[in-house]
C-alpha cells in the first residue's frame, strides 16, 4: 500500500510538472519566433531579454562559418594598451576592486576587471578566418561564486553560449597537519570530524573560451574579419584579473593511439612496487567551495571508516555534479619510479541508472589525449573499483619523477550530444506547447474547433519532424546505455504523442494536449536527472600495471556484519542532538544553553563559529547548543528546564510568549542601541510593544535573526515576446494582467491561508499602500473596517474572483514552464528553490518590488512591503539563573555583521546557490554573493520594508481573513461585506485575550502599539 | 468484621496477585488516571502553561456552553461524524468480516490484507487530497472540467459544502481497522459444532444463525470493536486537519478535538482546553455505556 502511495504521488508530481525544461527555448530554436519588434519604450531587463532572444546558437554559428578558413599561424597577442573601460552607468562606489590596467599579481602584469562594466580591446587581425580566443586569469578573492563574463566581438555577442562564460575559482582546504606532515581533522565536541574551512587560493590559470554549459568539447572558434576588430569582456559577476589575451589556432588534442605510441616508444613501465595511494578527500584544489570531504557510512571498507564517529572519508557526491566543477589532487613520483602508470579509483555512482557519468581528466593541467575528455564511471548501487580506460582499453600515462597534479572535471562526455539534442528538441516542443496553450487554454476541449491547421500549420508539420528526431535520439541512448531503459521509454512516449498530434485529426491535438504536457514534464525531469553527473570518490591509486595489489570494491560478508554490529551498538551511546563545546571552560565560567530548531548542518556551523570566535572573545561564557523539535520550548519552560536563548522563533510566537512573561525584554541591556542600529526598523517593529499605554515604556522582546518579504518574479522572455514592461504600479499591473490572461497565461498572487502565517503579509502590504493600518486604538481593535482595508480586501479578492488567478498552484513548476510568467512570492524561499530547480532558465527571469499604489492626490507611488521575521529570544529563566547578560552577549555577537556574513557564506559553501540566507543584518545581507543587478533590486526594496505589529490574540486575524476570502470565492459574497461580517469575531477575541492577560496583573501585560508605529 | 477489614484480609491473603499487577497499575495510574484527574482539576482554572494556574470554579464550563458558538458547532460536527461514521464503520467491519470469513483460507488472507491495508498504512488518506486537490490539475477538478460541469476549479477543502462529506467518506475508508481484524478472529474461534446443533434445533436461515449463534459467541470482540469505533469516530480530527487544514474553513469540520487543540496548542488556554477534554471524556464514557447496554441485547 505504501508503494501505491508513492506511485500515486509520483504520478501526480509528474502530471503536474507541465512543460519542464529550458525555455531558452523561446530564443534559440527556429526563426519563426523572433520577438516582436519594439518601439523604444521597452526598458531595463526586458530590453536585455529582447536582445538575448535575438541570439543564434553555436551550432548555427558554426554552420554559418563552415567554409571559413581555420587560422594555423602563430598566436596573435592582443595589446593590453588598447584597453578602454566603460562602467555602463553602474554604481562604482560599492565594488570590491577598481578597474586597473596596470596591476601586477604574482609577478604578472595584468588588467583588473571589476564586477561591473565592460572592457574593450583592439586587435589587428592579419587574415580573415576562424580563431580561438584565450587568456590567463587570476581569480581575485571575493565572494563564493564563479566568475562570469559576457564576450563580444565588435560590440556584438557572436552566439548565445558566450553570454555567460564561466571561469572557476581556486579553493583550498585549510588543513591541519600533524608532526609527520599527515593531514588531521579537528574533532567536534562529540568526536566527529570537522570539515576544515575553505579559502580562496588565487593563481594564474589559462583559459580558452569554451562552452560553459558543457555540450561541446574543446574551445570555440570565432570568425574575425581581416583588419582592426574589437573584443569586449563584460562583467556579470565577480572581479577578475586577466593577462595575455591571444587569438590563436583552434587546437585539438592527440588521440590516445598517438599518445600511447609516443610514450611507449620512449619509456618503459614503472617498477612493480610503484603504488601511490591518494585519499580522494585530501583534495589539493577545487573549483567550488562546495566540494569538500564528506562522510560515507554505506561501506565497511571506505578508508578510513569508523562505526561510532562520523569521519570524513570521501569527496564529492551531490555537490560534485555540475558542469565545470573540478577537483585536483597532488601526488609525488619518488626517485627512480618514473615510468608508465595506470590509474585506478574507488567510487560510487548510484544516481544515473543504466548510464555513465563522465569526468575530464587533466594531468598537470593538460588533457593528455582526446579520449581523456570523457572518462566514464558506470552505474552501480554499491561501491566499485575501476581503472581509467575506454573502448575496452586501459589508459596508460607517463609520469616522471617529482610532483604531479591530477584533476577531474565534470563533463557530459558521450552524453553531451544526446543531452544537447534532447534539450533543443524540448525547447521547441515547449514553444509549440505554449502556442497551443495560447490558442486553446490549459484544458482544451476536443469538441471545439480551434482551427489549429489554419493557425499554426508550421508547428504541426514540425511536431511530426520532432517525433522522428526524438525516435532517433532514443535509439542513440539505447546504444549508449546498452538496451532500452526508462530513459529511452520517456523519449519514445513524447515521440508517440507528437506523431499522433501531427498526423491524425485536429481533434487529436486537443485530446493529446494533456498527455503531451505530462510527457514533456517527464522528459524535462529525465533531462535534469541525467544532466546531474553525481560521483563520490573514496580514493585514487596511481600504480604500475605490474603491481599486484588487489583493490576491493566492498568488504566481505564478515567485515560488513561486524561493521554493522558496531554501528548498532554505538547508536546507543551517541547523542547527536547536543553540541557541546570542544574547549574546557574555566572555573568561573557562565554556561548558557542555546536551543535551535534548525538543521544539523546549520547547527554545526553555528557551533564552529562559536568555538572559533565567541569563545575567544568571551572566555568566561561557555555555550551549549541543542537541536530540539519545534514544540519543545513550552513544556521545557513550564518545567523550568528551558534554555537561556531560543533561536528561530516566529514573530507571533515571540509576542505570544512575551505577553505571558516567558521572555525577557532586551532593550535594557548594555549595548542594545548599537545592536538595534544593525537592523532596518521594519525588522524590530514586530518585536516592539509599548507597555501600559501607547506612549508607555517600549519593550523589545527578542532580536531579529532573519527577515523575509514578498517580491514579484517575472519571466523576461515572455515579457519580451509580449513587448511590455514589468509593471511597477497596480494600474500597470492590471493592464499586463489583461494582456497575459488574453493569451491564456496565468498570474500568481498570494492567497491568505492559515497554514502559511506569512501570507497575511501581502494583504497588509496592500493596506499600508492604501494608507491604512492593521490595528487601531493602539492595538486594542482591528482596523479592517477602515476604507483602506476594505479597498485592499476587495482588490485581493478580485484577483481571484474577477481575474481568475488560481488559488492553488505549484508556483515553481508553472513559472518554469512559462505558464505563469508573473508571480508574487516569498523572496528567499522561491529564489533558493528556483535557482537550482531551473538552472536552464538562468538569466531569463528576474524579480522586482511588488507593484506600488499611486496616491491619487499627490501622485506619489507607495511601495510599502511587509516583512516578517524570525527572532532570537532570551527566556525568563535566564534572569533567575543569572545568565541573562551572558545570553545577551551571545545575541549581540551572533548578529554581528562579520559573523552573519561568515555564516551566510559558509551556508552557500555547504548548500550551493540554494543556500542563500536571509539575515536581518542589512550589511551582511548585502555582502552575500548576489549578482550586481540582484543587489540593486534588493537595495531598492529594502527602503520600503515595513513590519506589522503583533498583538495578543493576533493569530485570529489571518484565520478570519481567510474565512472571509473563501466565502467570496465559494459563494460570491461581496468582499467588503464578507470582511465586515468577521470583524466582531476578531475584535471579540482581541478584547478577550487582552482581558485575560491584563486581569489582575501589572502593567507588563498590557501590550500596546507604540504611538508612531503600525504604518500611521 | 466490616467490609473494609474483610477486604484487607483478602488482600493480604492474595498479596502475590497484587504484587504482580502492581507494575501495570502504577503505570496506568501515572499516565492515564493521573492526567484525567489533573485535567479535571485544570478545567476549573485559568492556566497558560507558563504561570501558575488561577482557580475560577465553573467559569470555563459556563463560557463553553453559553458563550462559545464555535464549541457548539464543534459538538454538532462531532456528533454528525460520530453518528455516521461510528455505526456505519462498525457494521461495515462486521459484515465485511462475516463475508470474508466464508472465503477459502488462502483467498481470505489476501482479501483481509486488502481491506485492512488503508488503516495500517498511516497517512495513506493523503491520497484523497490529491484526488480533491483545489488545483485545476487535481483529479476531481480536472475530470469535472473535462466534462464541462464546472469552469473554475472547486476548492474542495476550502468550501464548507464539501469538506464534511469528503471527510466522512475518507473516515469510513480508513475505518476497517483493528475491530475488523478482531471480528475475523472472533468468527474463526466459534465452535463448528454449535452451528450443527443450531441446525438441528431448527435455525431456518443465515440471518438467524448470525443472530442466535455467531454474534452471541463473539460478544467480547463486538465490545472491543464498539469501543474502538467510538474512540475512532470521536477522535479522527487528524484526518480533517490533514485534508482540510486547521482550522477548517468557517469551522465547517471543526470537531471537539479541534477545539481542544485550538485552545490548548494555539491560544495557550490550557484551563479552557481541559474543560473541553472533560466534556469529551464524559461523552465518550456515556456512549460506551450505551453501546454496552445495546450489546447485551444481542442474541435475545
For residue A658, the chain B residue with the least C-alpha distance is B50
* A240-249, A519-528, A847-856, B94-103: range with lowest mean pLDDT: A519-528
Q: How far apart are CA A968 and CA A957, in angstroms?
A: 17
The whole-angstrom distance between A422's CA and the closest CA on chain B is 26
Between chains, do B136 and A5 touch, taking CB under 8 Å as contact?
A: no
How far is the C-alpha of A366 from the C-alpha of A118, rounded, in Å? Answer: 30
The verdict on a CB contact (< 8 Å) between A809 and B126 is: no
Q: Do B145 and A443 count as a contact with CB atoms less than 8 A apart?
A: yes
CA gap A630, A644 in Å, rounded: 16
Do residues A444 and A515 make contact, with C-beta atoms less than 8 angstroms apart? no
Looking at CA atoms only, how far is residue B238 from chain A in angstroms?
A: 15
Span A372-381, pLDDT tens digits: 988 999 888 8
pTM recorded for the entire structure:
0.81
The lowest-confidence range among A775-779, A926-930, B83-87 is: A926-930
**Residue A940 has what pLDDT?**
85
- Cα of A605 to nearest chain B Cα, Å: 32
Mean local confidence (pLDDT), A621-649: 88
| Contact yes or no for B51 and A442 at CB 8 A | no
Residues of B in contact with A961 (CB under 8 A): none
Instruction: Tell me the per-residue pLDDT of A823-834, one tens digit each, with 9 for 90 and over.
Output: 999 988 899 888
Give the model's pLDDT for residue A530.
80
- Residues in A whose CB is inside 8 Å of some CB of B read 1-2, 4-5, 8-9, 12, 15-16, 442-443, 445, 634-635, 637-638, 656-657, 660-662, 753-755, 804, 806-810, 953, 955, 959, 962-963, 966-967, 969-970, 993, 996
Residues of B in contact with A662 (CB under 8 A): 50
pLDDT in tens, A279-322: 999 999 999 888 889 889 889 999 889 888 889 999 988 888 88
- Nearest by Cα to A139 from A176, A102, A174, A96: A96
Report the distance separating Cα A808 and Cα B155, nearest Å. 8
> What torsion, rounded to 10 degrees, do the Cα atoms A82, A88, A94, A99 define?
0
Looking at the partner chain, which of A5, A15, A807 has a beta carbon nearest the beta carbon of B121?
A5
Q: Which residues of B touch A8 (CB under 8 A)?
A: 127, 130
Q: Which of A3, A4, A5 should one mutate to test binding to chain B, selecting the residue with the greatest count of B CBs within 10 A?
A: A5
Residues of A in contact with B127 (CB under 8 A): 4-5, 8
The residue to which cell 480533517 is assigned:
B240
Q: Is A349:A534 a contact under the CB 8 Å cutoff?
A: yes
Locate the chain B residue with the closest alpha carbon to A753: B245
Q: For residue range A77-130, what is the model confidence (pLDDT) as tens digits?
A: 998 888 888 887 666 666 788 888 889 999 999 999 988 888 999 999 988 999
The verdict on a CB contact (< 8 Å) between B136 and A807 is no
Backbone angles phi, psi at A919, to 5 degrees: -60, 145
**Interface contact B135-A16, CB threshold 8 A:** yes
- As beta bridge partners, residue A341 has A397
User: Which SS3 state, helix, strand or coil, does residue A90 take?
Assistant: coil
For residue B143, list chain A residues with Cβ-Cβ distance below 8 A: none
C-alpha to C-alpha distance for A656 and A24, rounded to whole angstroms = 48
| Secondary structure tally for chain B: helices H, strands E | 17, 2
Closest CB to A1: pick one of B124, B133, B160. Answer: B124
* Number of other CB atoms surrounding residue B163 within 10 Å: 25
A443–B136 C-beta distance less than 8 A: yes
CA distance A661 to chain B (A): 8
The pLDDT assigned to A8 comes to: 54
Best probe of the B interface among A639, A754, A970, A973, by most B CBs < 10 A, is A970
Residues of B contacting chain A (CB within 8 angstroms): 46, 48-51, 117-118, 120-121, 124, 126-127, 130, 133-137, 142, 145-146, 148, 152-153, 155, 158-161, 245-247, 249-250, 266-269
- Minimum Cα–Cα distance from B63: chain A residue: A992
Given a cut of 70, the residues of chain B with pLDDT beneath it are 122
Candidate from A12, A443, A970 with C-beta closest to B146: A443
CB of A651 within 8 A of CB of A868? yes
Cell 551572533: give the residue. Answer: A894
Label residue B22 exposed, middle or buried (CB < 10 Å: 0-12, 13-18, 19+): exposed
- pLDDT tens per residue across span A652-706: 889 988 988 889 999 999 999 999 999 998 999 999 999 888 888 899 999 999 9
The SS3 call for residue A9 is: helix
Give A353→chain B minimum CA distance, Å. Answer: 28
Q: Which of A755, A955, A996 sits opposite B245 (nearest CB)?
A: A755
CA distance to partner chain B, nearest, from residue A344 (Å): 46
Distance (Å, rounded) from C-alpha A942 to C-alpha B121? 48
Specify burial of residue A485 (Cβ count, 10 A radius: 0-12, 13-18, 19+). Answer: middle
Question: What's residue A583's pLDDT?
Answer: 61
The pLDDT mean for chain A works out to 85
Q: Which residues pair with A108 in a beta bridge?
A: A105
pLDDT at position B40 is 93
Inter-chain touch B121–A1, beta carbons under 8 Å: yes
- Inter-chain contacts counted by CB atoms under 8 A, chains A and B: 87
Of A224 and A486, the one with more pLDDT = A224
Which positions in chain B touch A638 (Cβ < 8 Å)?
Answer: 49-50
Q: Which residues of B touch A637 (CB under 8 A)?
A: 50
Of A12, A635, A963, the CB nearest to B250: A963
CA dihedral A900, A916, A845, A517 (to 10 degrees): -160
**Chain centroid, CA A415 distance in Å:** 25
Cross-chain CB nearest to B152 (options A9, A804, A959): A804
Chain A residues closer than 8 Å to B268 by CB: 634, 656, 660
- Nearest Cα of chain B lies from the Cα of A14 at a distance, in angstroms, of 11
Position A37 scores a pLDDT of 38
Nearest CA in chain A to B115: A1
Q: Which of A306-315, A424-433, A476-485 has the lowest mean pLDDT?
A: A476-485
pLDDT of residue A521: 75
How far apart CA A168 and CA A180 sit, in angstroms, is 33
Give the residue carrying C-alpha cell 506547447.
A433
Q: Are B228 and B177 in contact (CB under 8 A)?
A: yes
A7: nearest CA partner in chain B: B127
Q: What pLDDT is stored for residue A7 in this prediction?
A: 53
B120, B137, B247: residue with CB nearest A16: B137
pLDDT band of residue A872 (cuts 50, 70, 90) is very high
Pairwise CA distance, residues B69 & A524, whole Å:
52
Q: What is the DSSP string of A848-900?
A: EPPPBEE-TTT-PEE--EEEEEEEEEEBTHHHHHT-HHHHHHHHHHHTSHHHH
User: What percent of chain A stands above pLDDT 90?
Assistant: 38
Q: What is the pLDDT of residue A90?
A: 66
pLDDT tens digit sequence for A42-61: 666 777 777 777 788 888 89
- B67: nearest CA in chain A? A988
Chain B's closest residue to A18, CA to CA, is: B137
Question: What's the CA dihedral at A683, A686, A689, A694 to 10 degrees?
Answer: 100
A660 and B130 in contact by Cβ < 8 A? no
Task: Judge: A660–B48 Cβ closer than 8 Å, yes or no.
Answer: yes
DSSP string, A267-326: --BPPTT-EEEEETTS-SEESSTT--EE---S-TTSSS--SSS----EEEETTS-STT-E
Report the alpha-carbon distance of residue A173 to residue A1004 in Å, rounded.
52
> Which residue of chain B is at minimal alpha-carbon distance from A13?
B130
Q: Tell me if B93 sits within 8 A of B183, measured CB to CB.
A: yes
B267/A2 CB distance under 8 A: no
Give the whole-angstrom CA distance, residue A239 versus residue A242.
Answer: 10
CA distance B55 to chain A (A): 13
In whole angstroms, give the CA distance from residue A434 to residue A430: 6
Task: Tell me what ipTM this predicted complex has.
Answer: 0.83
Amino acid at each position: 500500500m505504501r508503494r501505491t502511495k508513492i506511485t500515486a504521488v509520483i504520478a501526480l508530481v509528474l502530471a503536474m510538472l507541465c512543460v519542464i525544461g529550458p525555455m531558452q527555448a523561446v530564443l534559440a530554436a527556429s526563426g519563426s519566433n523572433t520577438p516582436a519588434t519594439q518601439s523604444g519604450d521597452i526598458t531595463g531587463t526586458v530590453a536585455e531579454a529582447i536582445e538575448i532572444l535575438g541570439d543564434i546558437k553555436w551550432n548555427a554559428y558554426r554552420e554559418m562559418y563552415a567554409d571559413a578558413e581555420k587560422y594555423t599561424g602563430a598566436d596573435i597577442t592582443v595589446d593590453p594598451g588598447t584597453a578602454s573601460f566603460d562602467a555602463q552607468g553602474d554604481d562604482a562606489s560599492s565594488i570590491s576592486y577598481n578597474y586597473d590596467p596596470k596591476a601586477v599579481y604574482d609577478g604578472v602584469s595584468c588588467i583588473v576587471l571589476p564586477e561591473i562594466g565592460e572592457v574593450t580591446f583592439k586587435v589587428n587581425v592579419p587574415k580573415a578566418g576562424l580563431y580561438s580566443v584565450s587568456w590567463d586569469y587570476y581569480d581575485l578573492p571575493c565572494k563564493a561564486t564563479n566568475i562570469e563574463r559576457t564576450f563580444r566581438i565588435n560590440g556584438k555577442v557572436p552566439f548565445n553560449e558566450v553570454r555567460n562564460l564561466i571561469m572557476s575559482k581556486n579553493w583550498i582546504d585549510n588543513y591541519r597537519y600533524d608532526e609527520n606532515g599527515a593531514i588531521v581533522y579537528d574533532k567536534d565536541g562529540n568526536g566527529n570530524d570537522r570539515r576544515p574551512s575553505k579559502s580562496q587560493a588565487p593563481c594564474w590559470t589559462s583559459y580558452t573560451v569554451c562552452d560553459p554549459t558543457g555540450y561541446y568539447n574543446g574551445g570555440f572558434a570565432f570568425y574575425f574579419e581581416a583588419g582592426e576588430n574589437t573584443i569586449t569582456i563584460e562583467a556579470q559577476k565577480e572581479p577578475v584579473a586577466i593577462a595575455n589575451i591571444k587569438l590563436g589556432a583552434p587546437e585539438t588534442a592527440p588521440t590516445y593511439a598517438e599518445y600511447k605510441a609516443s610514450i611507449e616508444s620512449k619509456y618503459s613501465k614503472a617498477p612493480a612496487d610503484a603504488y601511490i595511494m591518494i585519499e580522494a578527500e585530501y583534495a589539493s584544489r577545487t573549483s567550488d567551495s562546495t566540494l569538500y570531504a564528506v562522510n560515507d557510512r554505506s561501506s565497511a571498507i571506505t578508508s578510513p571508516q569508523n562505526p561510532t564517529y562520523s569521519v570524513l572519508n570521501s569527496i564529492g557526491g551531490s555537490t560534485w555534479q555540475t558542469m565545470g566543477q573540478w577537483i585536483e589532487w597532488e601526488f609525488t613520483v619518488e626517485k627512480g619510479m618514473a615510468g608508465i602508470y595506470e590509474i585506478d579509483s574507488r567510487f560510487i555512482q548510484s544516481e544515473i541508472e543504466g548510464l555513465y557519468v563522465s569526468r575530464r581528466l587533466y594531468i598537470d593541467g593538460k588533457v593528455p589525449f582526446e579520449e581523456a575528455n570523457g572518462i566514464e564511471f558506470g552505474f552501480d548501487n554499491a561501491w566499485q573499483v575501476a581503472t581509467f580506460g575506454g573502448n575496452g582499453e586501459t589508459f596508460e600515462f607517463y609520469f616522471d619523477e617529482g610532483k604531479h597534479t591530477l584533476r577531474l572535471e565534470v563533463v557530459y562526455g558521450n552524453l553531451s550530444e544526446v543531452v544537447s539534442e534532447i534539450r533543443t528538441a524540448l525547447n521547441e516542443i515547449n514553444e509549440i506547447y505554449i502556442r497551443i496553450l495560447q490558442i486553446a487554454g490549459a484544458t482544451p476541449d476536443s469538441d471545439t474547433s480551434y482551427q489549429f491547421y489554419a493557425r499554426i500549420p508550421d508547428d504541426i508539420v514540425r511536431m511530426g519532424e520532432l517525433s522522428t528526431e526524438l525516435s532517433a535520439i532514443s535509439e542513440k541512448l539505447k546504444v549508449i546505455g546498452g538496451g532500452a531503459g526508462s530513459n529511452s521509454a520517456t523519449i519514445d512516449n513524447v515521440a508517440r504523442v507528437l506523431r499522433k498530434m501531427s498526423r491524425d485529426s485536429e481533434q487529436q491535438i486537443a485530446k493529446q494536449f494533456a498527455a503531451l504536457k505530462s510527457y514533456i514534464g517527464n522528459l524535462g525531469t529525465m533531462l535534469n536527472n541525467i544532466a546531474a553527473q553525481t560521483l563520490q570518490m573514496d580514493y585514487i591509486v596511481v600504480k604500475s600495471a605490474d603491481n599486484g595489489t588487489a583493490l576491493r570494491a566492498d568488504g566481505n560478508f564478515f567485515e560488513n556484519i561486524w561493521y554493522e554490529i558496531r554501528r548498532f551498538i554505538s547508536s546507543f551511546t551517541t547523542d547527536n542532538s547536543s553540541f557541546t563545546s570542544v574547549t574546557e571552560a574555566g572555573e568561573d565560567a557562565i554556561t548558557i544553553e542555546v536551543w535551535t530548531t534548525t538543521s544539523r548542518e546549520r547547527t554545526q556551523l553555528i557551533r564552529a563559529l562559536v568555538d572559533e570566535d565567541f569563545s575567544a572573545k568571551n572566555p568566561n561564557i561557555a555555550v551549549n547548543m541543542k537541536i530540539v523539535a519545534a514544540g519543545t520550548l513550552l513544556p521545557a519552560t513550564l518545567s523550568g528546564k528551558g534554555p537561556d536563548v531560543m533561536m528561530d522563533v516566529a514573530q507571533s510566537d515571540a509576542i505570544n510568549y512575551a505577553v505571558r512573561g516567558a521572555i525577557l525584554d532586551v532593550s535594557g541591556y548594555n549595548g542594545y542601541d548599537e545592536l538595534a542600529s544593525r537592523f532596518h526598523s521594519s525588522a524590530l517593529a514586530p518585536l516592539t510593544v509599548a507597555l501600559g499605554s501607547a506612549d508607555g515604556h517600549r519593550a523589545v522582546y527578542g532580536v531579529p535573526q532573519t527577515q523575509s518579504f514578498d517580491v514579484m518574479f517575472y519571466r523576461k522572455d515572455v515579457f519580451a515576446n509580449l513587448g511590455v514592461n514589468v509593471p511597477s504600479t497596480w494600474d500597470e499591473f492590471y493592464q499586463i494582467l489583461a494582456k497575459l490572461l488574453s493569451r491564456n497565461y496565468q498570474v500568481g498572487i498570494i492567497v491568505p491561508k492559515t497554514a502559511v502565517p506569512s501570507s497575511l503579509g501581502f494583504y497588509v502590504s496592500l493596506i499600508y499602500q492604501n494608507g491604512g493600518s492593521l490595528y487601531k486604538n493602539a492595538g486594542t481593535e482591528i482596523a479592517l473596517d477602515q476604507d483602506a482595508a476594505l479597498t485592499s480586501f476587495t482588490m485581493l479578492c478580485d484577483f481571484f474572483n474577477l481575474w481568475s488567478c488560481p488559488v492553488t498552484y505549484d508556483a515553481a513548476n508553472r513559472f518554469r514552464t512559462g505558464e505563469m510568467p508573473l508571480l508574487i512570492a516569498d523572496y528567499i524561499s522561491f529564489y533558493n528553490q528556483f535557482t537550482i530547480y531551473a538552472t536552464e532558465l538562468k538569466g531569463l527571469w528576474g524579480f522586482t518590488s511588488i507593484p506600488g499604489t499611486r496616491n491619487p492626490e499627490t501622485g506619489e507611488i507607495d511601495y510599502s512591503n511587509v516583512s516578517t521575521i524570525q527572532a532570537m529570544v532570551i527566556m525568563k529563566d535566564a534572569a533567575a539563573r543569572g545568565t541573562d547578560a551572558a545570553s545577551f552577549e551571545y545575541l549581540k555577537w551572533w548578529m554581528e555583521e562579520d559573523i552573519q556574513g561568515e555564516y551566510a557564506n559558509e551556508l552557500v559553501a555547504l548548500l550551493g546557490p540554494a543556500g542563500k540566507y536571509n539575515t536581518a543584518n542589512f550589511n551582511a545581507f548585502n555582502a552575500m554573493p548576489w549578482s550586481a543587478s540582484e543587489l540593486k533590486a534588493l537595495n531598492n526594496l529594502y527602503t520600503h520594508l515595513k513590519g506589522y505589529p503583533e498583538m495578543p490574540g493576533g493569530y485570529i486575524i489571518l484565520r478570519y481573513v481567510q474565512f472571509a476570502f473563501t466565502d467570496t470565492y465559494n459563494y460570491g459574497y461581496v468582499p467588503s461585506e464578507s470582511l465586515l461580517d468577521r470583524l466582531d469575531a476578531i475584535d471579540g477575541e482581541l478584547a478577550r485575550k487582552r482581558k485575560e492577560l491584563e486581569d489582575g496583573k501589572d502593567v507588563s501585560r498590557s501590550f500596546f502599539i507604540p504611538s508612531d508605529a503600525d504604518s500611521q | 468484621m466490616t467490609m473494609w477489614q474483610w477486604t484487607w484480609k483478602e488482600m493480604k491473603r492474595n498479596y502475590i496477585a497484587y504484587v504482580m499487577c502492581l507494575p501495570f497499575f502504577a503505570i496506568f495510574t501515572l499516565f492515564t488516571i493521573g492526567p484525567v484527574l489533573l485535567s479535571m482539576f485544570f478545567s476549573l482554572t485559568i492556566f497558560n502553561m507558563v504561570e501558575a494556574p488561577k482557580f475560577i470554579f465553573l467559569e470555563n464550563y459556563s463560557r463553553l456552553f453559553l458563550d462559545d458558538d464555535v464549541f457548539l458547532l464543534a459538538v454538532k460536527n462531532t456528533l454528525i461524524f460520530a453518528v455516521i461514521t461510528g455505526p456505519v464503520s462498525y457494521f461495515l467491519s462486521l459484515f465485511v468480516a462475516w463475508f470474508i470469513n466464508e472465503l477459502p483460507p488462502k483467498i481470505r488472507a489476501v482479501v483481509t490484507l486488502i481491506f485492512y491495508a488503508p488503516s495500517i498504512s498511516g497517512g495513506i488518506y493523503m491520497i484523497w487530497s490529491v484526488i480533491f486537490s483545489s488545483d485545476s490539475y487535481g483529479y476531481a477538478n480536472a475530470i469535472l472540467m473535462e466534462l464541462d460541469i464546472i469552469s473554475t476549479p472547486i476548492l474542495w477543502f476550502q468550501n464548507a459544502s464539501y469538506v464534511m462529506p469528503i471527510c466522512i467518506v475518507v473516515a469510513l475508508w480508513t475505518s476497517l481497522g483493528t475491530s475488523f481484524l478482531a471480528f475475523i478472529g472472533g468468527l474463526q474461534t466459534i465452535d463448528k459444532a454449535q452451528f450443527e446443533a443450531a441446525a438441528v434445533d431448527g435455525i431456518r436461515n443465515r440471518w438467524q444463525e448470525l443472530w442466535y449463534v455467531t454474534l452471541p459467541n463473539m460478544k467480547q470482540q463486538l465490545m472491543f470493536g464498539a469501543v474502538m469505533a467510538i474512540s475512532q469516530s470521536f477522535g479522527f480530527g487528524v484526518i480533517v486537519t490533514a485534508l482540510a487544514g486547521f482550522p477548517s474553513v468557517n469551522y465547517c469540520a471543526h470537531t471537539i478535538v479541534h477545539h481542544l487543540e485550538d485552545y490548548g496548542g494555539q491560544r495557550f488556554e490550557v484551563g479552557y482546553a481541559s474543560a473541553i477534554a472533560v466534556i469529551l471524556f464524559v461523552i465518550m464514557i456515556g456512549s460506551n455505556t450505551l453501546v454496552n447496554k445495546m450489546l447485551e441485547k444481542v442474541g435475545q
